[in-house]
């Protein structure tokens, strides 16, 4: 058996997300695909024969990021998320998008809804090293009621019995978790403020998934959907907007306390609203807004402020928040998770807390803390380096200079 490749990395800073500290002039020793050891400046890396030295000079080293909410099959780039495409084109779109994520330092992607299960084949291609890309955590097409939000992705299921069958079918195909659409969303003809699935339907998914060792996440924009999901025992809520019928938001601390007591994790997805706001503001300068767009632009400042208020409320209540940006939506692109972290910082998190939301906290939510999420011996050597110190300036995460996945450099700039 050939000897494992040994790499010794030196850098200016290392962000230790496990305790929130920054270590100056560290080293990290990597053997094969895993971290062997790491040390501080007053220690010396163990001698290694034929070790490769990677000196990152003035750069900061971090664990690979985890984007907890994307849709790799969606086009983004201004195209409506409900744009129809073949399964083959959805797969090719996903190949492009996952590479953009990887080159930005995202080494693990949690996809929250693909088209007709296309990503299961993509993951097989990654495992066989036909392609290179981030680690994929998949749910397949999200479960939704007939005519519900994202129905066109192929996950329509109705009633407790139909949902139970769909859950079993998804897991048999390789789903790592189950995603449900608990309220309306951006799909025309659906209502974000209203519940779509009943508590009984959500509970059927939870019961079946948990029996098979899988977690359940739920798309929730309106308050009735959040209440149903808390009562039914879901594990993670996506968006958690507390949306009202007029499109405004109204955070409920009482409901946040219930979420915390139930151990529910939240992916707030704040930046997508700022992306839409910036897009509509640009259109307004050209005097090309429709009536509906003008109304939405007027409402968005309140929406963004309430998203910030909700984030602060979650932190106060003790709700674990992880970072995901819903990449794939028309104005939210791939390779831009750092913008979500910047939004979390503006909303009240410290830079270290925001980085943790995309590393160790996200790994905990995936039950993968033993393999990814921080720089520790025995874990996968998923690392990336940036110019600057992101614990002082979160935008440093946009200046990626090197990405390593499982001990192999997959991007250098």
Phi, psi of 267 (to 5 degrees): -110, 100
Q: Distance (Å, rounded) from C-alpha 89 to C-alpha 102?
A: 20
Whether residue 32 is predicted with pLDDT greater than 60 in this model: the reply is yes
User: 285-337: per-residue pLDDT in tens?
Assistant: 988 899 999 999 999 999 999 999 999 999 999 999 999 999 999 999 999 99
Closest CA to 150 of 200, 81, 197: 81
What are residue 16's phi and psi, to 5 degrees?
-90, 95
Domains of the chain in start order, with CATH, are 6-63+373-412 (2.30.40.10), 65-335 (3.20.20.140)
Judged by DSSP in three states, 95 sits in helix
| Rounded Cα distance, 190 and 148, in Å | 6
Q: What number is the average pLDDT over the span 192-199?
A: 98
CB-based contact 64:383 (threshold 8 Å):
yes
- Residue 88, CA distances (Å) to 81, 216, 298, 313, 321 in order: 17, 27, 39, 42, 34
Which pLDDT band, with edges at 50, 70 and 90, does 245 fall under? very high
Instruction: Please check whether residue 401 is in contact with residue 386, taking contact to mean a CB–CB distance below 8 angstroms.
Output: yes
Question: Do the bridges between strand 215-222 and strand 236-243 make them parallel or antiparallel, or are there none, so unpaired?
Answer: parallel
What distances in angstroms separate CA 252 from CA 201, 240, 331, 350, one per listed residue?
A: 24, 11, 28, 23
What is the percent of the chain where pLDDT is above 70?
A: 97
Q: What value does the mean pLDDT take over residues 12-35? A: 96
* 7 SS3 class: strand
**Residue 238 pLDDT:** 98
pLDDT at 402 over 90: yes
Q: Is 263 exposed, middle or buried (0-12, 13-18, 19+ CB in 10 A)?
A: exposed
Distances in whole angstroms, Cα of residue 157 to Cα of each of 137, 138, 148, 237, 317:
22, 18, 10, 19, 34
- Summarised one tens digit per residue, pLDDT across range 82-124 is 888 999 999 999 999 999 999 999 999 999 999 999 999 999 9
Name the region of 265 (left: φ>0; alpha: ψ -120 to 50; beta: rest). Answer: beta
Distance separating alpha carbons of residues 243 and 311, to the nearest angstrom: 14
Whole-angstrom distance, CA of residue 9 vs CA of residue 252: 46
Contact indicator for 90, 44 with CB cutoff of 8 Å: no
Mark residue 209 as left, alpha or beta (left: phi above 0; alpha: psi -120 to 50; beta: remaining): alpha
Q: What share of the chain is helix, strand, coil (3-state, %, to 5)?
A: 35, 25, 40
Q: How confident is the model at residue 347 (pLDDT cuts 50, 70, 90)?
A: very high
Rg for the chain, CA atoms, rounded: 21
Average pLDDT along the chain: 96
pLDDT digits (tens, 9 = 90+) for 154-187: 999 999 999 999 999 999 999 999 999 999 999 9
Is the distance from CB of 228 to CB of 264 less than 8 angstroms?
no
Q: What pLDDT shows up at residue 83?
A: 82
Assess whether pLDDT exceeds 80 at residue 45: no
For residue range 206-229, what is the model confidence (pLDDT) as tens digits? Answer: 999 999 999 999 999 999 999 999
Give SS3 for 70: strand
Please state the rounded mean pLDDT for residues 27-34. Answer: 95
Burial class, 327, CB count within 10 angstroms (exposed 0-12 / middle 13-18 / buried 19+): buried
* Phi-psi region at 128: left, alpha or beta (left = phi > 0; alpha = psi -120 to 50): alpha
Q: What is the mean pLDDT of residues 14-37?
A: 96
Q: pLDDT value at position 47?
A: 63
pLDDT band at 1 (very low <50, low <70, confident <90, very high): very low
Helices (H) and strands (E) in the chain, counts: 11, 17
Q: Which residues of 116-133 are buried (b: 16+ CB within 10 A; e: fewer)?
A: bbbbbebbeebeeeeeeb
Q: Is 35 left (phi over 0), alpha (psi -120 to 50) or beta?
A: beta
The pLDDT, as a whole number, for residue 46 is 63
What is the C-alpha separation between 208 and 188, in angstroms, rounded? 30
Q: What pLDDT shows up at residue 43? A: 65
Question: What's the pLDDT score for residue 49?
Answer: 66
Is pLDDT at 135 greater than 50 in this prediction?
A: yes
- What is the model's pLDDT at position 42? 65
Report the interhelical angle of 271-285 vs 291-317 (nearest 10°): 160
């Amino acid at each position: 058996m050939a000897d494992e490749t040994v790499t010794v990395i030196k850098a200016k800073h290392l962000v230790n997300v496990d305790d929130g500290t920054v270590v100056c002039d560290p080293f990290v020793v990597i053997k094969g695909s895993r971290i062997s050891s790491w040390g501080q400046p007053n220690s010396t890396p163990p001698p290694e024969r034929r070790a490769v030295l990677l000196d990152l000079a003035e750069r900061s080293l971090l664990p690979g990021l985890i984007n907890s909410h994307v849709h790799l099959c969606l086009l983004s780039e201004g195209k409506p998320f409900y744009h129809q495409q073949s399964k083959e084109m959805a797969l090719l779109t996903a190949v492009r998008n996952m590479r953009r994520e990887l080159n930005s330092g995202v080494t693990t992607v949690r996809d929250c809804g693909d088209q007709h299960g296309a990503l299961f084949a993509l993951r097989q291609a990654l495992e066989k090293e036909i392609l290179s890309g981030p680690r994929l955590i998949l749910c397949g097409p999200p479960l939704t009621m007939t005519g519900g939000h994202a129905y066109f992705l192929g996950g329509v299921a109705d009633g407790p019995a139909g949902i139970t069958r769909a859950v079993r079918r998804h897991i048999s195909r390789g789903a790592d978790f189950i995603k449900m659409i608990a309220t309306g969303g951006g799909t025309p003809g659906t209502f974000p403020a209203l519940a779509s699935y009943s508590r009984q339907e959500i509970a059927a998914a939870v019961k079946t998934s948990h029996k098979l060792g899988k977690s359940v996440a739920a798309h929730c924009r309106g308050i009735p959907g959040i209440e149903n999901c808390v009562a039914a025992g879901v594990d993670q809520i996506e968006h958690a907007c507390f949306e009202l019928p007029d499109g405004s938001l109204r955070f409920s601390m009482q409901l946040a306390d219930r979420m915390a007591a139930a151990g529910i994790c939240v992916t707030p997805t704040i930046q997508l609203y700022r992306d839409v706001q910036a897009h509509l503001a640009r259109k307004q300068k050209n005097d090309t807004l429709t009536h509906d767009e003008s109304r939405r632009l007027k409402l968005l400042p309140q929406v963004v402020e309430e998203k910030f208020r909700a984030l602060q409320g979650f932190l106060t209540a003790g709700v674990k928040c992880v970072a995901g940006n819903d990449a794939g939506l028309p104005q939210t692109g791939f390779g831009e998770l750092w913008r979500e972290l910047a939004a979390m910082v503006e909303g009240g998190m410290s830079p270290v807390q925001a980085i943790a939301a995309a590393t160790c906290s996200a790994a905990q939510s995936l039950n993968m803390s033993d393999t990814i999420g921080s720089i520790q011996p025995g874990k996968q050597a998923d690392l990336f380096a940036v110019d600057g110190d992101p614990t002082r300036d979160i935008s440093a995460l946009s200046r990626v200079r090197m990405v390593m996945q499982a001990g192999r450099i997959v991007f250098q700039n």
